[in-house]
Amino acid sequence: MVAWHPHSRAGETDARPDATSSLAARLWAMPRLCVLTSDGQDVGDPRERAEALARELRQLGLTPGARVVVALPNGPELVSAFLACVKSGLTFVPLSPLLPAEETQRRLAAVGASALLAAGSPPRLLQARTEAHSSEGERAAVMLFTSGSEGGGRPVALSGPALLHVADTHHRELGYAPGTSITGYLPWSHSFGFVLELLMGLLYQAWLRSVPSDVFPEVVSSAPPQLLFTVPRMLEKLAEGTLQALEGGIVGGAPLRGELRMRLGRTRLRVGYGQTECSPGVTLGRPGEWEHDDFLGRPIGCETLLRQSAEYGYSELLIRGPNLALGYVEEGQLRPLALSDGWLVTGDLASALDGGYVFRGRRDELFKLDNGRMVNPVPLEVPYGGRILLVGAGGRAVVPLARGEIPADFQLSIPHLPARVMSDSFWNECTTPSGKVSRRRAQRLFEGS
């Protein structure tokens, strides 16, 4: 075994993507795949273990389309399981091994799992169930659960062509070379970490290392990577010099505003936006482009448009393109996405800016006051850089909740009750792992207080 050395390696050649190649063909065409252990050790090409594991899966009687749930931590073993599924035409369904047993069982049932692979155990057959479709474009290569910030994520079926499309279009923008070092902490069971950190890294010969989130700041300080894929909350724990030394990367998972956004203007990091239903990439900003609060970037590899709502006075973002998922999985059955003339209605509100979009809230975060007035809270909060959150569904007026202290210049153009300063524990409890404050969770907590 050799230790992690975070620099490009001479002599490694870039694999030219072929739009007609399957996911398996692309991955097996790579000269070398390198996924290091969490402590930075190289344990060899994960395809070697994948070949043996693929034989084990076939011996269980699994046929193409069967869904294999893999509950393993990030690392070479998880990647070997993914590659074994790809090699055998099986659907790879990664789950965090830290999920409670009850939630794991719910997810197994939701996807109609045929087999389970967990740490310390050989693959275990659950049921002999397969998908009816045989072509790669119709069959789910991967099923990933949405983030489920309000609880209970939904499984989304993603095809091999959609995954390749997102990895290839995003790599054309990032342009990193073979041997580029990527150290991360994002779960590879979630779409951001799986597609844009792991899969793109495998397809373009990065040297990948994933570590637990609690030690990540210390690790990147002692062994700086070249690229970083992260959510906003982690950025607050990283030193200025660490961020400025990065050659690039993507920040996604939650809108950015205020001091953190301005701090990123001194880096090569760029904003990214997407949804699991979009495999997950939709937009990217340019390196160091952080001039506007809540900027989402510009479309990449897909079409976008804003649909106006005369009733509520907002514009909703719609997406169409080869990045779209096959659909949701409900009780083991694939349900195609509900499209409007081929467009996915995202539920995200936005406005146009400089060829891209600015986030203006979620359609499901709009709330109505007792007098019937519909309120879109996000544009009202933007001037205060994350220090004010508005709640008030079903109330007679908007309630401003303040973080730290009430801004000296605070004012609202709509009826509101006096602003209330909420404790740090309140903000911690209603903030998701990505750093996004859940308005619905905040509303419930406030009502309960």
Domain ranges of the chain: 2-361, 366-448
Q: What is the pLDDT of residues 136-192, one digit of tens each?
A: 556 899 999 998 644 568 999 999 999 999 999 999 999 999 999 999 999 999 999
Q: What is the pLDDT of residues 294-316, one digit of tens each?
A: 999 999 999 999 999 766 678 99
Residue 26 C-alpha from the chain's centroid = 23
The CATH architecture assigned to 2-361 reads 3-Layer(aba) Sandwich (3.40)
Residue with tokens 């969490």: 38
Q: What is the pLDDT of residues 83-105, one digit of tens each?
A: 999 999 999 999 999 999 999 99
303-319 burial, b if ≥16 CB within 10 A, otherwise e? Answer: ebeeeeeeeeebbbbbb
SS3 state at 237: coil
Q: What is the pLDDT of residues 194-234, one digit of tens each?
A: 999 999 999 999 999 999 999 999 999 999 999 999 999 99
CA-CA-CA-CA torsion sign (174, 300, 268, 214): negative
Phi-psi region of 279 (alpha: psi -120 to 50; beta: other; left: phi over 0): left
- CB atoms near residue 300 (< 10 Å): 20
Per DSSP, the chain holds a count of helices (H) and strands (E) of 14, 28
- pLDDT computed for residue 151 by the predictor: 52
- pLDDT computed for residue 393 by the predictor: 62
Please tell me the pTM assigned to this model.
Answer: 0.87
- pLDDT computed for residue 65 by the predictor: 92
- CB atoms near residue 28 (< 10 Å): 16
Report the distance separating Cα 386 and Cα 422, nearest Å: 13
Confidence of residue 129 (pLDDT cuts 50, 70, 90): low
